[in-house]
Chain A
Amino acid sequence: MTQSATVVNVDGLRVAYGGTEVVHGVSFQLRRGSRLGVVGESGSGKSTIARAILGLLPSEGRVTDGRITLLGTDVVQRTDKEMNDLRGRVVSLVFQDPLTSLDPVKRIGKQIAEVIVQHDKKLPRPEVRKRCVTLLNEVGVNDAERRLEQYPHEISGGMRQRVLIAIAIANQPDVLIADEPTTALDVTTQAQVLDLLKTTADRHGMSVILVTHDLGVVAEFCDEVVVMKTGEIVETGTARQLFSAPREDYTRHLLDCIPRAGDRRPGPEFDYQVETEPVVRVTGLRKQYGRTTVLEDVDLAIHARETVGIVGESGAGKSTLARTIIRLETPSGGTVELAGADFGRARSKRLRELRRDIQMVFQDPFSSLDPHMQIQDIVAQPLIVHGLADRAAARTRAAAMLDGMGLGTEYLERVPRNLSGGQRQRVAIARALILGPALTVLDEPISALDVSVRAQVLDLLREEQLALGTAYLFIVHDLAVARYFCDRIAVLFEGRIVEYGTPEDLFENPVHPHTKRLLGAIPDPWRNN
């Protein structure tokens, strides 16, 4: 590796917000033509580094020490004016969340043209327009002429991300910084966008820094990796070496959190040979909003101790299915039988009584716990509501339950704000399971959590299932997790179940084309490396 081949050199970088240092002396290099992944959980400082390279830290952020060299010139020493000349021409950004990364009141064409005109003020207008069209074609946006006249809200999320990429590559910069470019996208769209980034970077000889929390994405995309934790670098290396022989415990821990093919959650497999009466039987379930049908003809039977996974892309109706079964939404048709009772049509008092047997764990533990309540009261509440215990007894049982989940007495009187994401989700699980429900609906219970705590939460869910015998309906978008955790998996597509079977059936012999497409898009860190 020679010096001239290095396009970005970060050396001993320290960044502080106000008085708090968040990046503590980070060094790494980006070689010409290579793709470097910066991986870390929330709070690792990875996005801060990306912004520092562009010279666009938030107003209270400062580089307190170290150097960032971009093609031989020091970014930190340059004025904002000098940086304007580099940004968009030499280095550019593909930002996370395409929904908010385009100005909502400006047409697409105008936003692409802006970056072209900025660095070539004399270019005649028709020429600019022609280049916009070429760019859109290059990033695979069809009907480019028409798109130029559209507003961001009129096109899909995947297409917006493509437009952002078009903006980023417009002047063929040497360095492309991609900050969580696929986090907000579906698995299938994610695969396409990564592919697009890779081919365009190759074609124009661009070097890429990819900032992400997702090791799977890194494995698909990068050839070198920097692993970060709380503002420091834990490990640096090639992708191959990192995935095959990680040196540090933290890296190993992160890798362990990704379920591999063949991994299986603990406990005995569900025995489908034994005939039992299902605890929940959903028949012909339908949900409409106005004229739009979101769910159509859904049949499910879930037994005690069984975990049924629901997978599918966003918009397939996964969440609506969960919410309709638990009666946060009223079914438009079909039945939901809960231990023989007609739960789908129960009303008022009867409905509230039946709820004792069907509970839910929500996706976001930050919003599913009342910020004004103490942990012990949150968990005790269901017992009190159903008259199963008085306040004191309910608190005692809640304390015991939480203790079993690793949240000791010191947590009981805290409010949710003072807990980490993983701890909050434990509280949410305790609240759902303290009633010993027949069925617990898990709506993406781990996707809002940091990678390193996901496995713990899954293990906890499994332990409790084995102890209590509850059945799980597990809504999940991550197929690897579904394979690891579920007894059977239903693939939801446009509101219908298109395939239903055990993980082996599904992964070995997918029948429906949509299932095949989903499976093909799963990033697998060990496939290439």
Chain B
Amino acid sequence: MFRDIRQRLAASVVTIVLASFVSFVVLRALPGDPARLIAGPLAGQETIEATRRGLGLDEPFFAQYGLFLWDFVRGDWGYSFSVGEQVRTALTSRLAATFELALYAFLLAIVGALVCASVASFRPGLRRGLVRLFALVGLGSPPFWVGLVLIVVFSAQLGWWPGPSGRLSPQLVPPPSVTGFHTIDFALQGDIIGVSDSAAHLVLPVLSLALLPWAFLTRLLTANMADTAVQPYILVVRSKGVAAWPTHVRHVLANSLLPTVSSCGLILATMITGSVLVETVFNWPGVGAMLTEGISSQDFALVQSFILLSAILYVIGNLVGDAVNRMIDARLRTSGAAQ
């Protein structure tokens, strides 16, 4: 088992290195002047020259790549002219907002998908049809449009929850940062108004961000459950006298979850891209919104670091999904050892 994980780990490192190469190539080898791209459209000739030297653009190709990699590993991700900060500080200072959004969305997606898929595979007819429709709509809607529709309905028309106004109402002061999550930090302060205000601000963005992974997981789980339900061992369990619902929970669900865990990385990916697409809709002060601004002002240093970081995150996510899968599923454990 450990040998197997070591191999996967090695493969992941190789993939990350290759990914860094891809992100390097995209910037340096494509037509256009990288120094100009990185320094930004408003930079003067001197700044561009300085950037060119800093990037080592006079060096041979692979030396440039080595320099790029070294800088990245050291944590020197360049200067973002659109934010006016080092890329690293810019990213880390906005991470908490994104994490808070993504974590709630992640939980909603998983719990929601479990409920939907169970309903769909256990109750044929109308309810199964509704779940299927939900999955189709969820998979077909771009997250930013979902945000727009939610704002139109729940904010502009019904006025239930705030629309594009960030994490807090303007009259409130952000709580002292402990976890970086406004909901939790307010709760630690015992500030009920703060908790409910920050929670209300979370509702619509969380829904917009969660819909795609929710629908995706629902679909995946439903398909897995349908496959599992017709397996001979389910018939054997039923022949023992176990009723339909306990059979579903004990055997169908358990066997359907396993292949779902390994798509953990994919969920992570939808979260990352989702936050890029959703945060601007709600003026959410997170990493995604910053990236979108960076894109419109052609801030390549920011964009490059962001995509490389998300690639690393994505690879790690896949690795963790795999490892968890192995831990739960005895078959994978021993087959790995046998080979």
Contact = CB atoms under 8 A, between A and B. Distances in A.
Consider the complex of A and B and state whether they touch directly, i.e. have CB atoms less than 8 Å apart: yes
A93 B235 contact: yes
A86 interface: yes
B328 A105 contact: yes
Contacts, number: 86
B140 to A, nearest CB: 29
B241 interface: yes
Contacts of A58: 230
Interface string A43-65: 00000000100101011000000
Interface of B is mostly: helix
A95 B244 contact: no
Contacts of B230: 58
B3 interface: no
Nearest to A90: B241
Interface stretch (B110-118, B150-158, B250-258, B266-274): B250-258
Contacts of B145: none
Contact of B241 (A87, A96, A97, A101): A87
Interface string A91-112: 0110111001111111000000
A196 interface: no
Interface in A102-144: 102-106, 114-115, 118-119
B331 A87 contact: no
B239 interface: yes
Contact of A93 (B236, B243, B254, B331): B236
B251 A100 contact: no
A89 B329 CA distance: 31
B254 A88 contact: no
Q: Which of B238, B243, B331 is most buried by chain A, counting CB atoms within 10 A of its CB?
A: B238
B330 A88 contact: no
Contacts of A168: 239
B255 A104 contact: yes
Nearest to B339: A290
Interface residues of A, number: 35
A283 B231 CA distance: 45
Interface string A63-88: 00000000000000000110011111
A164 interface: yes
Contact of B240 (A81, A87, A105, A106): A87
Contacts of B335: 153
A215 interface: no
Contacts of B124: 59
Interface of B: 124, 230-233, 235-244, 250-251, 254-255, 258, 328-331, 334-335
14 contacts: A51-B235, A89-B241, A93-B235, A95-B232, A100-B232, A102-B236, A103-B254, A103-B255, A104-B233, A104-B330, A105-B328, A106-B251, A118-B240, A167-B240
A-B residue pairs, 7 tightest by C-beta: A88-B241, A93-B239, A115-B240, A88-B240, A87-B241, A151-B330, A100-B232
Given A96-B232, A114-B242, 20 more contacts: A51-B235, A54-B238, A59-B124, A80-B243, A80-B244, A84-B241, A85-B241, A92-B239, A92-B240, A95-B232, A95-B239, A101-B233, A101-B236, A103-B254, A103-B255, A104-B255, A114-B250, A115-B240, A118-B240, A154-B334
